[in-house]
């Protein structure tokens, strides 16, 4: 089973200061959102500015995928939010 970020859905910063992206797992795809706080705390984002969040997302994509894989629950209409608690659980 391979888990990867869907390149056809470009990661983007939402109104809520999260980075939304789509993960593919087997033949299913799920939208995830990583909070700005998680990106700043665990992924090295310098600020909540759009560019800083996207750069941190790109740099930490493998770690973010590990967290997303642990939180996988296929609900095609609802994004799965990855915040500080989810990163703490996986990284500690």
As given in the structure block, the two tokens for residue 82 are: 């990855």
Give this prediction's pTM: 0.79
Taking the C-alpha atoms of residue 68 and residue 72, their distance in angstroms, rounded to an integer, is 6
As given in the structure block, the two tokens for residue 31 are: 């939208």
Q: Pairing relation of β-strands 12-13 and 80-82?
A: unpaired
Return the pLDDT at 92. Answer: 55
CATH architecture of 3-91: 2-Layer Sandwich (3.30)
Statement: residue 1 has pLDDT above 60: no
The per-residue pLDDT for range 43-72, each reduced to its tens digit, is: 999 999 999 999 999 999 999 999 988 887
Q: Report residue 64 CA to chain centroid gap.
A: 5
Domain regions of the chain by residue span = 3-91
Residues in the chain: 92
The per-residue pLDDT for range 6-47, each reduced to its tens digit, is: 888 889 999 989 999 999 887 888 899 999 999 999 999 999
């Amino acid at each position: 089973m391979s888990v990867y970020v869907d390149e056809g859905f470009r990661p983007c910063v939402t109104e809520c200061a999260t980075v939304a992206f789509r993960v593919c797992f087997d033949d299913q795809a799920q939208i995830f959102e990583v909070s700005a706080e998680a990106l700043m705390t665990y992924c090295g984002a310098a600020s909540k500015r759009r560019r800083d969040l996207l750069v941190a997302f790109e740099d930490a994509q493998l770690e973010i995928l590990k967290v997303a894989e642990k939180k996988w629950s296929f609900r095609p209409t609802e994004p799965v939010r990855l915040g500080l608690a989810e990163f703490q659980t996986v990284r500690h």
